Amino acid sequence: MLSEKLENALNNQINFEFYSAHIYLSMAAYCLDIDLDGFANFFTVQAEEEKFHAMKFFNYVNQKEGKVVLKGMPDPRVAFESALDVFETALLHEKIVTSRIYSLSDIATEEREHATLSLLKWFIDEQVEEENSLTTIIKKLKRMGGDSAALYMLDNELATRVFVPPVI
């Protein structure tokens, strides 16, 4: 059984993870529009991951006899300056996600809700990977400058990313 406070906070996170998927699909649409299909693939896979995150919380709330409440979401951003702008925006978004996971962990710690803390531990580790993979690509894009051959190679590299549901 979850406290009302924790149930609401977990529900907010379910909605935020689905919103993250929406944001990343909008980034994929931008990348397709500027003919960077590999970059678009990266964000389409990222959106799949976010839906997986949402469903992980979704299933957990249900397992704990809570009720999942889905909500509407704001329009995602549709216009960007460049591929670098997209990745920098994505990194900022993931930093927000990380701080939200930490806040959830604070509530679960206060309530001595160890099962929820165990779930959140998975997300804490996942966020380290999320931030790291985006930071790595941002560094590459900055190093490349305006070199279009290098951009083409990175686009090819990102075209190979596939969604693999994590084994839990």
Binding site for Mg ion (CB under 5 A): 50, 53
Residue with Cβ nearer Mg ion (7 or 50):
50
- Least spacing, CB of residue 23 vs Mg ion, in Å: 11
Find, among 43, 45, 51, 41, the residue nearest to 18 by Cα: 51
Residue with Cβ nearer Mg ion (85 or 131):
131
What lies within 8 Å, CB to CB, of 84 at 6+ separation is 138, 141, 142
- Least spacing, CB of residue 8 vs Mg ion, in Å: 19
Residue with Cβ nearer Mg ion (48 or 111):
48
- Least spacing, CB of residue 46 vs Mg ion, in Å: 9
Task: Name the residue with the smallest CB distance to Mg ion.
Answer: 53
- Least spacing, CB of residue 44 vs Mg ion, in Å: 15
Locate 151 and state its tokens.
């951009």
Find, among 85, 95, 84, 82, the residue nearest to 140 by Cα: 84
Burial of 76 (0-12, 13-18, 19+ CB in 10 A): middle
- Least spacing, CB of residue 47 vs Mg ion, in Å: 10
CB 79 within 8 A of CB 30: yes
CB 24 within 8 A of CB 16: no
Residue with Cβ nearer Mg ion (23 or 53):
53
Phi, psi of 44 (to 5 degrees): -65, -40
Residue with Cβ nearer Mg ion (53 or 134):
53
